[in-house]
Amino acid sequence: MEVSCASCSARNRVPAKRLLDNAKCAQCKASLLPLTRPVALASAQDFEELVRDSSRPVLVDFWAAWCGPCRMVAPEMEKLARDRAPSVVVAKVDTEALPAVAQRFGIRSIPTLILFRGGAEARRLSGAMPAAEISRQLEL
SS3 content of the chain, % helix, strand, coil (to 5): 30, 25, 45
Q: What is the spatial distance between Cα 26 and Cα 105, in angstroms, rounded to a whole number?
A: 34
Indicate if 67 belongs to the active site.
yes
Q: One of 8, 25, 28, 67 is an active-site residue; which one?
A: 67
Element (H, E) at 2: strand 2-4
Contact by Cβ (8 Å): 8, 35? no
Rounded distance, CA 127 to CA 140, Å?
A: 17
Catalytic residue among 5, 8, 25, 70: 70
CB 125 within 8 A of CB 112: yes
Residue 43 is given by DSSP the state S
70 is catalytic: yes
Catalytic residues: 67, 70
